[in-house]
């Protein structure tokens, strides 16, 4: 079968019934709708959705039937409640939504599921939901946190020093990937100047909600506009580029295809 449709939303009801009988892999992209800096679209879920389609298409070339579920655009609330227009779910609401999504698929025997996560505030919630389903049904649903994996690839692509300087919220890897995948939505003329050594509450900022007390990292209950500058964390977005984004995207798609293949193999073995 030559796969021509990759989004579940594009399938007719009869096509969906036929696909389910073939036990395809389903990708569930999750993202957020928040401040990503003055230069990036607030809908970072768009990038998770595009990445999911690329992984599905590349997997199909390798002989696997893969579909992308409708993207969940709202992430779990964490540091970004200050952003006008931003929309986030409470962690308990998001947990209930993800569980309902997964159980809707599991009900019909769709067990080859992969979560493509695009928001750090989703991580704990995803673990809690998938762990509970594993304990109940012995179905493993892996979560591929796209931007954390991309950050791991960054040093080999741009070098360790540049990766350290450019890595962070509002900078790499998301800005570079956005420049590559959604160039019409990125406002490069609004990339802010890098503001290093920001201090809050008398201490140097280490990251969102984290301050440096003489080398010890201390968590503080502050929203992102206190510990970031215009939505940009510790990284310098001026060091981001579409070229870097293209290489990161390629690596992420390769990883996604390998994960699809692994899920299929493990499902066929029906063993841990």
Give the CA angle between residues 264, 267, 272 to the nearest 5°. Answer: 120
Domains for the chain: give ranges and CATH numbers.
8-149+245-269 (3.40.50.10310), 167-240 (no CATH)
User: Do the beta carbons of residue 25 and residue 110 sit within 8 Å?
Assistant: no
Query: Which pLDDT belongs to residue 271?
Result: 62
For the entire predicted model, the pTM comes to: 0.96
* Distance from C-alpha of 270 to C-alpha of 129, rounded to nearest angstrom: 21
**Token duo for residue 180:** 């590559």
* Distance from C-alpha of 152 to C-alpha of 47, rounded to nearest angstrom: 18
Q: What three-state secondary structure class fits 230?
A: coil
Query: Which pLDDT belongs to residue 196?
Result: 77
Residue 159 has pLDDT above 70, yes or no: yes
Rounded mean pLDDT of 39-60? 98
Residue 33 has pLDDT above 90, yes or no: yes
**Token duo for residue 156:** 């080999």
Residue 194 has pLDDT above 90, yes or no: no
Counting residues of the chain whose pLDDT is more than 70, the rounded percentage is 99
Residues in the chain: 272
Strand ranges, E, within the chain: 25-30, 66-68, 113-117, 143-145, 199-200, 203-207, 210-213, 216-219
User: Do the beta carbons of residue 106 and residue 20 sit within 8 Å?
Assistant: no
Residue 238 has pLDDT above 70, yes or no: yes
* Count of beta carbons in the 10 Å neighbourhood of residue 136: 10
Q: What three-state secondary structure class fits 204?
A: strand
pLDDT tens by residue, 55-88: 999 999 999 999 999 999 999 999 999 999 999 9
Query: Which pLDDT belongs to residue 3?
Result: 95
| Lookup result for tokens 């293949």 | 261
Rounded mean pLDDT of 189-208? 90
Of residues 196 and 53, the one with the higher pLDDT is 53
Query: Which pLDDT belongs to residue 270?
Result: 66
Query: Which pLDDT belongs to residue 17?
Result: 98
């Amino acid at each position: 079968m030559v796969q021509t449709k990759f989004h579940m939303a594009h399938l007719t009801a009869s096509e969906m019934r036929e696909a389910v009988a073939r036990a395809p892999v389903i990708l569930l992209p999750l993202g957020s709708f928040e401040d990503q800096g003055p230069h990036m679209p607030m809908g970072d879920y768009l990038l998770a959705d595009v990445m999911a389609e690329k992984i599905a298409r590349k997997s199909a070339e390798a002989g696997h039937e893969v579909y992308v579920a409708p993207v969940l655009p709202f992430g779990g609330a964490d540091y970004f409640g200050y952003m006008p227009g931003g929309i986030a779910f409470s962690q308990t609401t998001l947990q209930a939504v993800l569980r309902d999504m997964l159980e809707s698929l599991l009900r019909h025997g769709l067990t080859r599921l992969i979560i493509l996560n695009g928001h750090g505030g989703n991580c704990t919630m995803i673990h809690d939901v998938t762990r509970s389903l594993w304990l109940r049904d012995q179905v493993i649903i892996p979560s591929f946190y796209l931007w954390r994996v991309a950050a791991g690839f960054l040093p080999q692509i741009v070098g360790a020093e540049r990766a350290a300087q450019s890595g962070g919220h509002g900078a790499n890897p998301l800005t570079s990937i956005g420049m590559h995948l959604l160039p019409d939505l990125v406002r490069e003329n609004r990339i802010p100047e890098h503001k290093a050594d920001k201090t809050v509450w008398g201490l140097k900022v280490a990251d969102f909600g984290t301050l440096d007390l003489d080398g010890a990292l201390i968590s503080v209950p502050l929203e992102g506009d206190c510990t970031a500058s215009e939505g940009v964390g510790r990284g310098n977005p001026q060091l981001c580029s579409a070229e870097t984004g293209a290489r990161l995207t390629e690596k992420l798609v390769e990883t996604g295809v390998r994960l699809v293949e692994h899920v299929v193999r493990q499902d066929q073995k029906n063993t841990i």
